Amino acid sequence: MYDLLVLGGGPAGYLAAERAGHEGMSVCCFEMRELGGVCLNEGCIPSKALLNCAKVYEHALHGEKFGVLTHDIALDHALVQKRRARVVRTLVAGVKAKMREHHVEVVRERAVLRGRVDGGFAVEAGGQVYEGKRLLIATGSSPVVPPIPGLREGLDSGWVVTNREVLALPEAPKKLLIIGGGVVGLEMAAYYRTAGSEVAVVEMLDHIAGATDREISDLLLKEYRRKGVDFRLGAKVVALGEGRVTVVEAGGDTVRLEADKVLLCVGRRANVQEMGLETLGVEITRAGVRVDACGRTNVPDVFAAGDVNGVSMLAHTAYREAEVCVNTMLGRQDAMRYDAIPSVIYTLPEVAGVGLTEEQAREQGVAYECRKLSMRYSGRFVAENEGDGLCKMLIDAQRRTVLGVHMIGAYASEIIWGAAAMIETGLRVEDARKIVFPHPTVSEMIREVLWTFS
């Protein structure tokens, strides 16, 4: 009998397996596709490989401003695809190596729970039964498919694709229509627009990028409209078929937009079906498997981490949840906190944020102060970039602790963790100002903004 059976080999599953193995537990991890899950194979990593190629290309296009004379520049989508595949292969091999290093047995089969056995639980995979003292459910999530006429047929024929296929299209479609202006939609709009596609984004809300600070998402919207992306906000797709997508626009007009490919990205749903959770009586809510702050489900010794709990649906949240679960299994005190989880959109320019946005602070009735500065306050930003960006910070008006930081501009994704650390540790403005930032870096923007408060 294993100490731990892990269902799912994505960021939550493989990291939990690795940590548990490191602590000397015997672990078996089940993965029906590839180790690394959505993040590594059809999400975070391949999309970043694509987006970096687009970034290199855009930099080359504007090379002259930086003294680099470039001619006959082209973005070759086929070569980009080769690079994406190589990057993914390398990293999947890395996860496999980690599993070996920590003596985790990996079973490449679909696993189904088969109830209790003496002293633990049974899982069936590939016709074999495995027993474990504890379970970790880390089966991830799948794209939401809304009941729009023609959508299912479109998916079946390959005309409509999801995050998985869009990353591996053999060529950039002439006309790409994206349903959903959230993170997936924006990142793919960014890549394919640069790769030469005509891109339209149909978003139900009156703004893009979901819960991103509104001032920041408006700047991103403006930038991508300038780059030629056709955003239809407050619009609804009502039917699809024959190469056209029928959209009811904000004003009530109905238009039919042509598309060679349609990307569906309107959110994700926890994978909780057909895996035998009912054999143990694991409680499931509308969002996913219900867990407490330690990752425990309602069934003792059954844990859940990652997208399957429906709380945050980000790979970096999954990592931390996995650690909390393993620590709890080992009797160590640990718990999840969700108020300092950074979010990033890897467009050009990048967007990154952590903590409360102004909208959330207002909604929650928090007494806050907000200050913002142009990124051109950073010497390195000006030296390296043409355009502009923004960095804004919210602090608690009484306690003067940092509540939120939101940025748009180069390196935002690499800087934001520092702001997360300030929020996580409840740092006050006066104390944060004592931190020495390397100069010249764009990270100094945080220091600059800290000094704008009285």
- Taking CB under 6 A as the binding criterion, the range among 175-183, 269-277, 389-397, 404-412 that sits at the site for ligand NAI is 175-183
Site map 123..162 versus ligand NAI, x via CB under 6 A: -----------------------x----------------
Spatial contact of 98 and 14, defined as CB atoms under 8 Å apart: yes
**Which of these is catalytic: 71, 102, 406, 439?**
439
* 21 versus 353: smaller Cβ distance to ligand NAI: 353
The residue from 161, 265, 322, 415 that contacts ligand NAI (CB under 6 A) is 265
202 scored as a contact of ligand NAI (CB under 6 A): yes
180 scored as a contact of ligand NAI (CB under 6 A): yes
Peptide bond into 440 cis (omega under 30): yes
* Amino acid, single-letter form, for residue 149: P
Assess whether 102 carries a catalytic annotation: no
Q: E strands along 169-309, which residues?
A: 175-179, 198-203, 230-233, 236-241, 244-248, 254-258, 261-264, 268-270, 302-304
Within 13 Å, how many C-alpha atoms sit on residue 382's CB side?
8
* 202 versus 354: smaller Cβ distance to ligand NAI: 202
- Taking CB under 6 A as the binding criterion, the range among 128-136, 189-197, 337-345, 393-401 that sits at the site for ligand NAI is 337-345
The residue from 196, 210, 243, 418 that contacts ligand NAI (CB under 6 A) is 210
Spatial contact of 406 and 213, defined as CB atoms under 8 Å apart: yes
> DSSP readout, 264-284?
E-S-EEE--TTS-GGGTT--B
204 scored as a contact of ligand NAI (CB under 6 A): yes
Residue nearest to ligand NAI (CB): 182
Kindly state the smallest distance separating residue 208's Cβ from ligand NAI, in Å: 7
- Beta-bridge partner residues of 281: none
Pairing of strands 27-30, 104-107: parallel
Number of residues that bind ligand NAI (CB under 6 A): 26
Spatial contact of 254 and 245, defined as CB atoms under 8 Å apart: no
186 is in an annotated binding site: yes
d(CA 92, CA 296): 28
Pairing of strands 368-374, 351-355: unpaired
Structure tokens, 204: 């139900």
- Taking CB under 6 A as the binding criterion, the range among 69-77, 166-174, 199-207, 285-293 that sits at the site for ligand NAI is 199-207
Kindly state the smallest distance separating residue 7's Cβ from ligand NAI, in Å: 20
Kindly state the smallest distance separating residue 210's Cβ from ligand NAI, in Å: 5
Which residue, 318, 226, 241, is CA-closest to 38? Answer: 318
346 scored as a contact of ligand NAI (CB under 6 A): yes
The residue from 4, 177, 262, 313 that contacts ligand NAI (CB under 6 A) is 313
203 is in an annotated binding site: yes
d(CA 46, CA 68): 28
Kindly state the smallest distance separating residue 308's Cβ from ligand NAI, in Å: 13
d(CA 22, CA 12): 15
267 is in an annotated binding site: yes
> DSSP readout, 384-437?
H-SS--EEEEEEETTT-BEEEEEEESTTHHHHHHHHHHHHHTT-BHHHHTTSPP
182 is in an annotated binding site: yes
* 147 versus 158: smaller Cβ distance to ligand NAI: 147
Active site residues: 439
Q: Extract the annotated binding site.
A: 48, 139-141, 180-187, 203, 267, 307, 313-316
Q: Extract the annotated binding site for NAD(+).
A: 180-187, 203, 267
Q: Please report, as ranges, the residues that interact with ligand NAI according to CB under 6 A.
A: 146, 179-185, 187, 202-205, 210, 236-237, 265-268, 313-314, 343-346
